[in-house]
């Protein structure tokens, strides 16, 4: 489960002028970049779910943060579905970013008190679809 409460996550995000997002398939590189950001004052970091290695590296970064970056808020980005959301929550993600909106991911995040930030790309289309269905049902 998350290392930080949603209150801490939102507080740190509001205090942080920049949130780096990063992926590298090499664990050593990922740890070095994360630690350099931390040493430079960064306290919120998004590891991006790109590549087959991302889940294993993220799990190891969680352990790394426990020892090397104890007050870092570490989230995961580029989550596509509820299965991925559940897996990364179990690994310890403090927050989750999604390039679009799927209600199932939002529900899982809400159930686990994980801040969920979704992109606008498909959110507008999703909301328009909902509104269209409401209007159609009202006209019937």
CA nearest neighbour of 35 among 69, 74, 4, 71:
69
pTM above 0.75, yes or no: yes
With respect to residue 81, please indicate whether it lies within any of the assigned structural domains: yes
- The CATH number of residue 114's host domain is 3.20.20.70
With respect to residue 94, please indicate whether it lies within any of the assigned structural domains: yes
Residues 124 and 120: their CA atoms lie apart, in Å, by 6
pLDDT at 122 over 90: no
Residues 13 and 126: their CA atoms lie apart, in Å, by 26
pLDDT at 119 over 80: no
pLDDT at 25 over 80: yes
The larger pLDDT score, comparing residue 137 to residue 2, is at: 2
Mean pLDDT over 70-97 rounds to: 96
Q: How confident is the model at residue 125, as a pLDDT?
A: 64
139 φ, ψ (degrees, to nearest 5): -80, -15
Number of domains in the chain: 1
With respect to residue 1, please indicate whether it lies within any of the assigned structural domains: no
- Domain extent for 135: 6-139
């Amino acid at each position: 489960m998350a290392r930080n409460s949603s209150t801490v996550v939102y507080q740190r995000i509001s205090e942080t002028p920049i949130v780096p997002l990063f992926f590298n398939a090499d664990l050593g590189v990922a740890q070095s970049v994360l630690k350099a950001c931390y040493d430079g004052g960064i306290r919120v970091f998004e590891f991006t779910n790109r590549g087959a290695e991302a889940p294993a590296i993220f799990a190891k970064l969680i352990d790394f943060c426990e020892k090397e970056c104890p007050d870092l808020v570490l989230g995961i980005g580029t989550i596509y579905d509820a299965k991925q959301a559940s897996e990364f929550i179990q690994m310890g993600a403090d927050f989750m970013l999604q390039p679009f909106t799927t209600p199932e991911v939002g529900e899982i995040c809400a159930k686990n008190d994980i801040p969920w930030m979704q992109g606008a790309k498909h959110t507008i289309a999703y909301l328009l679809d909902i509104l269209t269905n409401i209007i159609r049902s009202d006209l019937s």
